[in-house]
């Protein structure tokens, strides 16, 4: 049997960038300003949720201006405090941080652009950008562009607005690094009718990051939110295998599942309520998959939404599943073996960072018992018992990934495709024996 020539293919990917995140431009000669108090997190920007201890009082220290933040337990209503950029203060900012830049350090000519960045490392309710202390002509505007995890441009950004006329408010921003670009434009210049003016204008602006208290989230701080702790599995087949459980006495670390009804939001304001679970996919495990299961003793009446880096909702989600429908159009998503009482879904090659799973459920209480399990796995469905799961490291040495080595009868990334059936093996054997037997007489006659 001739299988043809074996070909070896190599691929080279080169990524060029500046030596630090504070520089940008084709020659890395332009700066991105950083603000020391722009961090909003009670967890001190920890990448590993295993090392977190949740208390009602913590201290957040930054190097610049020795700012200190005391996290206090307060009522569940957004409140605000001003934090001067050049002073040392102790303020209660569990749900708000304000940072300001004075007009002594921010001066632009019309047509120039200045970049800043803001780190959102925990789920926030909103952040707001406001400009002040400026004098603009009626034909000039102070334009602000925002983009998550990438530099914004005039024609490529997530949000934009004229902050000289009104603050720019971003509701439920994604977790990550938000880049902010400030530009002074002539309104007639935006219509491409005149050349930019060279007048220099100084101004100040500040941003406020607002969050909810007491484990709540959502636009009105009504829904319950839980941080899931990652627990490594014993004797894992791949290095990053683990499962997630709430950091609460209602769940036990020894079990990979927990009772969902114990954590659901109790609310009487709307017909449906939401409950959110946050988890962290650690660095080095981008080749893994997130496996979520819901098992109930009765018919499931829950909908499951997931989103990377943000809060999922009816209008904004990455993946969705319910008893009757799902977002099965993505190659990185699989919903299998689901019934009226069970839901089984997988997200392949999950990004490193924070994921949020939102459970939409009716407000009325039912006597059903539903167990939820969320785990980080290597091979999908353990290669369907038709192969062996292997783990390896990519060329950078920074990321683990897993793959299946299938038996001779199966193929596909999870060995779910049958290449040759048992009846096919029988037919092949019969034809092979018959063809060899038929060749005996001509071979004997040739002698």
Domains and CATH numbers, the chain: 23-210 (2.60.120.380), 222-378 (2.60.120), 385-418 (no CATH)
**How many of the other CB atoms lie within 10 Å of CB of 243?**
21
Better-predicted residue by pLDDT, 106 or 92 = 106
CA–CA dist 215, 246 (Å, integer)? 12
pLDDT score, position 132: 82
pLDDT score, position 168: 94
pLDDT score, position 328: 66
Element (H, E) at 344: strand 342-348
The strands making up 204-210's β-sheet, listed across from edge to edge, are: 96-101, 204-210, 126-132, 168-171
In terms of average pLDDT, the best of 99-103, 209-213, 382-386 is 382-386
Mean pLDDT of 395-424: 87
- 367 and 315 in contact (C-beta within 8 Å)? no
Question: Does the pLDDT value for residue 238 go beyond 60?
Answer: yes
Closest CA to 281 of 358, 373, 356: 356
- Phi/psi for 226 (5° steps) reads -130, 140
pLDDT score, position 86: 30
- Cross-strand bridge partners of residue 178: 118, 148
Mean pLDDT of 301-312: 92
| Composition of the chain by helix, strand, coil, percent to 5 | 10, 40, 50
Average pLDDT, the chain: 78
pLDDT digits (tens, 9 = 90+) for 28-55: 988 888 765 544 444 333 333 233 333 3
Better-predicted residue by pLDDT, 334 or 387 = 387
pLDDT digits (tens, 9 = 90+) for 16-25: 889 988 888 8
DSSP string, 234-294: SS-SSTT-EEEEESSTTS-TTSS-EEGGGT----SSSSEEEEEEEEEE-TT-TB-EEEEEE
pLDDT digits (tens, 9 = 90+) for 377-390: 999 888 999 999 99
Q: How many residues does the chain have?
A: 447
Helix (H, G, I), strand (E, B), or coil: what is residue 444? helix
Mean pLDDT of 85-102: 47
pLDDT score, position 268: 67
pLDDT score, position 409: 87
Q: Strands 387-393 and 258-259: what pairing?
A: unpaired
CA–CA dist 337, 327 (Å, integer)? 15
CA–CA dist 223, 217 (Å, integer)? 5
The owner of tokens 């019969």 is 430
Q: How confident is the model at residue 93 (pLDDT cuts 50, 70, 90)?
A: very low
**How many of the other CB atoms lie within 10 Å of CB of 210?**
20
End-to-end CA gap in the chain: 26
The owner of tokens 């319950």 is 224
pLDDT score, position 95: 62
CA distances from 388 to 134, 240, 306, 424 (A): 66, 17, 29, 23
User: What pTM did the predictor assign?
Assistant: 0.75
User: 433: which 2 tokens?
Assistant: 């024996």
Which ranges of 380-439 would DSSP assign to H, the alpha helix?
422-438
Percent of the chain with pLDDT over 70: 78
Question: Does the pLDDT value for residue 2 go beyond 80?
Answer: no
Question: Does the pLDDT value for residue 3 go beyond 60?
Answer: no
Give the least confident one: 73-77, 227-231, 360-364, 428-432. Answer: 73-77
pLDDT digits (tens, 9 = 90+) for 50-89: 333 333 223 223 222 222 222 222 333 333 333 333 322 2
């Amino acid at each position: 049997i001739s299988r043809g020539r074996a070909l070896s293919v190599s691929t080279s990917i080169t990524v060029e960038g500046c030596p630090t995140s504070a520089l940008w431009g084709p020659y890395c000669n332009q700066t991105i300003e950083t603000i020391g108090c722009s961090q909003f997190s009670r967890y001190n920007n920890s990448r590993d949720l295993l090392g977190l201890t949740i208390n009602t009082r913590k201290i957040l220290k930054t190097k610049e201006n020795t700012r200190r933040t005391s996290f206090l337990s307060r009522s569940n209503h957004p409140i605000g405090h001003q934090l001067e950029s050049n002073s040392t203060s102790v303020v209660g900012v569990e749900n708000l941080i304000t940072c300001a830049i004075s007009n002594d350090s921010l001066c632009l000519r019309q047509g120039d652009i200045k970049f800043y960045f803001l780190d959102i490392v925990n789920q926030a309710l909103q952040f707001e950008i406001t400009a002040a202390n400026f004098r603009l002509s009626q034909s000039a505007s102070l334009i602000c562009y925002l983009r998550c995890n990438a530099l914004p441009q005039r024609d490529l950004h997530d949000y934009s607005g004229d902050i000289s006329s009104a603050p720019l408010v971003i509701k439920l921003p994604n977790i990550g690094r938000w880049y902010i670009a400030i530009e002074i434009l002539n309104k007639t210049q935006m219509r491409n009718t005149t050349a930019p003016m060279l007048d220099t204008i100084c101004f100040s602006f500040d941003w406020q990051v607002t969050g909810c208290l007491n484990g709540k989230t959502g636009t009105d701080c009504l829904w319950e939110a839980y941080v899931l702790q990652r627990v490594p599995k014993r004797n894992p087949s791949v290095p990053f295998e683990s499962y997630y459980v709430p950091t609460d006495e209602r769940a036990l670390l020894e079990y990979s599942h927990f009772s969902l009804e114990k954590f659901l939001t109790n609310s009487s304001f709307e017909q449906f309520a939401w409950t959110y679970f946050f988890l962290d996919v650690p660095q080095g495990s981008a080749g893994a998959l997130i496996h979520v299961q819901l098992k109930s003793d009765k018919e499931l009446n829950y909908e499951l939404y997931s989103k990377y880096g943000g809060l999922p909702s009816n209008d904004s989600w990455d993946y969705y599943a319910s008893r009757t429908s799902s977002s099965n159009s993505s190659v990185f998503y699989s919903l299998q073996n689901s019934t009226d009482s069970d839901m089984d879904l997988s997200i392949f090659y999950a990004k490193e960072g924070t994921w949020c799973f939102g459970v939409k459920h009716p407000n009325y209480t039912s006597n059903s018992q539903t167990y939820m399990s969320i785990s980080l796995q290597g091979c999908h469905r353990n290669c369907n018992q038709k192969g062996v799961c292997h783990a390896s490291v990519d060329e950078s040495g920074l990321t683990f990934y897993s793959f299946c080595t299938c038996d001779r009868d199966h193929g596909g990334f999870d060995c779910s495709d049958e290449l040759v059936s048992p009846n096919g093996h029988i037919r092949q054997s019969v034809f092979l024996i018959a063809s060899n037997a038929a060749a005996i007489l001509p071979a004997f006659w040739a002698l």
